[in-house]
Structure 1
């Protein structure tokens, strides 16, 4: 009988992790976003103006002829992200979430993904098995906006948190970590469809106070009689300037996205090549990740094919996997040897498989195993199979 694994593993989840649950790919999202914008606002609005501006830009700058139907969502959002981040639109730079076109896209991406996400008791079996096999000492790093993993963990009754550390005491030079609770740690590097920021609302309160105005500013979430059941993402004491203090989850997410036109913008990074410039609220999730792996017992990458434009993720995974495969490889830790790196993706032919291996060429494949039939019950068995024993 094998010993129970102590955990201390890292799991990296990409879009391929969620596809078996029925979640849309990026290619599916764009036309549906366009349809919903047109359903609610017609074709004369800031989203369509931005689309035409982008089409003109690509034609005049690159000689490429595009239509609204042939635009690549990530390239379009990269164009908008640069405009917003640099404030090129001046006074039309609407909010921390983006300019008008970006707000349309984020709202409807959240709604579409929510509608396609099964309830926690209707997920495919592989998600429950994955959740069951996770240890409360494991860390899951996900690049997905959806709540599939959270629902699977809630269904099997396994506790989790959505931030790196809980603190017992905040000090002048350092904080005391509260490690009294056993929880799976989930770090959503690109945000989540059920996360919302109260920063704009707090700025409105401050403005009311300075102008000696009674009452509170209108806000669809934070001044709406607790309609959507918002509650803080983090708990316990935090540093006053911790950006995670501004993030709230919604309990009544079905009610929120049931609106014909969602009334607020979820805290998600744009699906663009420039998303890293908006990572500030989530920087705590990245802290120290370049030194991770050395003393971990496993690393699995599921459904993330490492696109060439995601250099920030490439650097992070390069550091993490290099540490993992080069430090203490033949030294037992907690009576276990490190397991092989597990790489899971969906590739149907040799060309696709070779491309995957090439993108992860920094992996020492003598210390790794690859599974290319996608995420499934068999993939879960492959991921958690311990192939090296002390």
Structure 2
């Protein structure tokens, strides 16, 4: 790591490069063809006023208490967790000192294994998990500016994205969608649109130019119709007329739900069960949000619930080799997120090893761009160590957080 640390010191504040020429000094087209990968973590959304994970937990507790007081399943789950940590680890916790991700990990294991038996409420979780997900969605929604009131760096980022770029986001919010809508740039929220479904393979419909956004952990405006469909089937088997009550899918289209995907899909495609809401203000304007959004718990065990979104991951172990850029914004790669570490390791290794010295579409691959907010040497060294698999001879680091200068850094050419 010695040589890396020396190189890192030179690169940390190197934010601007000449975009007009490649490494051979040859004039480049002003418009980049795209084919870049952008990975967004929580740090991407913080400048828009979105809460951090540390802010979410006490606010969730406050809202549950405001709704039900302190005698409810959520608070009983908290006390069970406090007792578990005391007797298993010798750790003294209180309701105010609990770490949200560790608490949700405990609940995820309990729910995934069905330890509560008949009290295992739904595919979204047990009672405590449902409270957390509903109120996380509500809190984030309330803190998200409208598409016309975002900080300018989001519009600039959206403008500079190419319709050939792919954005992988780990965030539940809709900041990027709103920025793209503001600048009038089309996007889709699923990997491929199909023109025809085949027996062995599907035919991709690539007739539309649009940015691809893959929300690996779900979104606060996504909801599943699976429970509603199961209810319809139960009514049918029992010979009951009508349909079960449902706050989204049998409520006179109160919230304007529409499919996440469009075009033909395989019958077993889990994405066909996911719907977005147009009137999200009306939904989260309820004191108690009436349904649970399709978001993975903010826990160390979230991958066990990734099945609805597995199509988002398909083939990423081979990505990067023929891409022109890889950028990571506001994601510090926590040690417990091994599934993301493996994915990013594969992408960046492919990117930095394959076709590095040859132009693709008349452009050389850009350096890996890493944007984070680090204020001291210790924090910067920690970031470099977390991403130790990056070849820093082929990477640039910016540690002043996401901003207009960071956007310039991200889209400038290093070679």
TM-score category (smaller protein): over 0.9
Cα RMSD (Å): 0.5
Residue 217 of structure 1, aligned match among 220, 229, 244: 244
Match of 2:402 in 1: 375
Pair 1:331 & 2:331 matched: no
Superposition deviation, residue 182 in structure 1: 0.5
User: How far apart, CA to CA, are the structure 2 residues paired with 1:327 and 1:124?
Assistant: 37
Superposition deviation, residue 187 in structure 1: 0.0
Residue 194 of structure 1, aligned match among 204, 210, 221: 221
User: How far apart, CA to CA, are the structure 2 residues paired with 1:95 and 1:241?
Assistant: 20
Match of 1:16 in 2: 43
Superposition deviation, residue 387 in structure 1: 1.7
Superposition deviation, residue 90 in structure 1: 0.3
Superposition deviation, residue 331 in structure 1: 0.9
Which has the bigger relative contact order, CA under 8 A and spacing at least 6?
2
Pair 1:163 & 2:190 matched: yes
- In the superposition, the TM-score normalised over structure 2's length comes to 0.93
User: How far apart, CA to CA, are the structure 2 residues paired with 1:77 and 1:38?
Assistant: 18
Pair 1:177 & 2:216 matched: no
Question: Following superposition of structure 1 onto structure 2, how do residues 262-301 of structure 1 map, counting pairs within 5 Å?
Answer: 262-301=289-328
Match of 1:143 in 2: 170
Match of 1:34 in 2: 61
**Structure 2 stretches of 5 or more lacking a match?**
1-19, 21-27
Superposition deviation, residue 220 in structure 1: 0.3
Superposition deviation, residue 181 in structure 1: 0.2
User: How far apart, CA to CA, are the structure 2 residues paired with 1:331 and 1:285?
Assistant: 29
Superposition deviation, residue 56 in structure 1: 0.3
Superposition deviation, residue 386 in structure 1: 1.2
Superposition deviation, residue 5 in structure 1: 0.3
SS in 2 for 1:122: coil
Match of 1:47 in 2: 74
User: How far apart, CA to CA, are the structure 1 residues paired with 2:325 and 2:119?
Assistant: 47
User: How far apart, CA to CA, are the structure 2 residues paired with 1:123 and 1:250?
Assistant: 20
User: How far apart, CA to CA, are the structure 1 residues paired with 2:187 and 2:399?
Assistant: 29
**Structure 1 stretches of 5 or more lacking a match?**
none
Q: Deviations over 1:273-311 (max 9, x none)?
A: 000000000000000011100000000000000000000
Question: Following superposition of structure 1 onto structure 2, how do residues 319-358 of structure 1 map, counting pairs within 5 Å?
Answer: 319-358=346-385
User: How far apart, CA to CA, are the structure 1 residues paired with 2:128 and 2:358?
Assistant: 53
Q: Deviations over 1:53-104 (max 9, x none)?
A: 0000000000000000000000000000000000000000000000000000
User: How far apart, CA to CA, are the structure 2 residues paired with 1:243 and 1:118?
Assistant: 30
Pair 1:257 & 2:284 matched: yes
Aligned residues: 388
Q: Which runs of 4+ in 1 moved over 4 A?
A: none
User: How far apart, CA to CA, are the structure 1 residues paired with 2:234 and 2:249?
Assistant: 16
User: How far apart, CA to CA, are the structure 1 residues paired with 2:271 and 2:358?
Assistant: 37
Q: Deviations over 1:237-275 (max 9, x none)?
A: 000000000000000000000000000000000000000
Residue 154 of structure 2, aligned match among 127, 150, 154: 127
User: How far apart, CA to CA, are the structure 1 residues paired with 2:357 and 2:145?
Assistant: 42
